[in-house]
Structure 1
Amino acid sequence: MEMDELKAIAEGLLFASGDEGITIKQICKILDVPESAAQHIIEEMKYDYERRDRGLMIMQSHEVLHLTTKPEHSSYFKKLIELPQATRMSQAALETLAIIAYRQPITRTEIEEIRGVKSDRPVQTLLSRSLIEETGRKDTVGRPVLFGTSKDFLTYFGLTSLGELPPLPEAAVVEEDTKEADLFFERFSNEMDDNSHDE
């Protein structure tokens, strides 16, 4: 595999790893290259990102690598945060919100078990939009945070109580079959789009 392709895959891995980041050893294992090669790939990417026409950089904390924005652009990101939220939520955020709405209180790990993929970013998105909130901690090992919907969730979707949520298909509850869940999420998304409003 050529260096450019390896760099492209490594960039995708850094992006996909999100807030958790990724280590050189993990990159080695995924790309099936020696550590020296992986380190060379990262160093080349760091050099590429140093150009003024690039908006990202690789940050290293201990052994973990993160893809992040450049600090010199921070004033623009503050403006983005201050803008009214007029964009619709991603499918991943809607799916995560649906799970929380019907299964609350629920932990991040339990959400991921249902979705089958990591859900750090969707959960963070929902927290930042105040649609969900921490409701306590589960009395198990590690005492993980429990999430539930907020008052803003009801307001955003034009509901007066959780009892007004669209009925959940029984098959999705009993079997938790992927196809049934997908149908449910699609239905939830459609109904929420009908009830939601752009701010």
Structure 2
Amino acid sequence: MIPLAKLLEAALFSSAHPVGLPDLRTVARDGETSESQILSALDDLRRHYDEDGHGVELIEVAGGWQILTRPEYTETIERAQLAARPQRLSAAALETLAIIAYRQPIGRGDIEEVRGVGCGQMLKSLHERELIEVVGRGEGMGRPLLYGTTPGFLEQFALRHLGELPRADELAVALRDPTGEGADRAEKATRDEERISAKVRANAAPQATAVEGANHSEAHGAVSPYTAAGG
């Protein structure tokens, strides 16, 4: 490997989360290393892992790069308790997360209308796991809190960006008008919910475990979005 690739490898190995280009350029220290040089060095590092049959791989995820255990070894590592097994989300939490992912920014009222049940506890759980965050307020009565996904969501589901989610037009729930009326809406929402949750559930278990087993940081923000009226 070239010296720059080795330096980037050390930086990535020390981080439990994806590292973006700006931080990787900072690691280069001289301030003259271009993004193209960084990307070339990352590609060199990736090939090194792939061609030499290493137990780890370099992937691009959540707007950065990360060194991860190869998927075929993840279960063995977890079984040996060398890395924490990620807690699985409940079906209800997955459904709530899917609705937010496809329709963000979205308020609590609209989420509950799609699901047909309250979602305060689900929102709290997803927020504590740093999968969603408050991204603003709506224009309706009471200016309800609006929710969106976080970089942690991308990391959890091994996505580089939201554009890698299944096409929104494949999921009618992403396009359905929450203000419509009619008995068919409840049945349709149930079908949509099943389809959208299936898409997310297929990726519910992360395909790789971070080399460093550091814990996530404390859930951010002082806003309490779970009891706010209309939030």
What is the TM-score when the length of structure 2 is the normalising length?
0.45
Output aligned runs, 1:1-199, within 5 Å. 86-168=86-168, 169-173=170-174, 177=188, 178-193=190-205, 195=207
Secondary structure of the residue aligned to 2:203 is: helix
Q: Distance in 1 between matches of 2:117 and 2:132?
A: 19
Q: Which amino acid aligns with 1:157?
A: F
Contact preservation (8 Å) 2:104, 2:148 = yes
The one-character-per-residue Cα deviations of 1:50-73 (angstroms, maximum 9, x if unpaired) are xxxxxxxxxxxxxxxxxxxxxxxx
The one-character-per-residue Cα deviations of 1:119-169 (angstroms, maximum 9, x if unpaired) are 011110000011000001111210110000011111111111000012342
Name the CA shift for 1:197/1:120 in 2 (closer, same or farther; >3 Å). farther
From the two aligned structures, give the one with the greater helix fraction: 1
Name the CA shift for 1:173/1:104 in 2 (closer, same or farther; >3 Å). closer
Contact preservation (8 Å) 2:158, 2:206 = no
Q: Distance in 2 between matches of 1:90 and 1:147?
A: 19
Q: Which amino acid aligns with 2:197?
A: F
Secondary structure of the residue aligned to 1:143 is: coil
Pairwise CA distance, 1:85: 7.4
Secondary structure of the residue aligned to 1:154 is: helix
Considering only aligned residues, what root-mean-square deviation do their CA atoms show, in Å?
2.4
What is the TM-score when the length of structure 1 is the normalising length?
0.52
Q: Distance in 2 between matches of 1:86 and 1:179?
A: 28
- Structure 1 unaligned segments of length 5 or more: list them: 1-83
| Higher normalized contact order (CA 8 Å, seq sep 6+, divided by chain length) | 2
Pairwise CA distance, 1:194: 5.9
- Structure 2 unaligned segments of length 5 or more: list them: 1-83, 177-184, 214-231
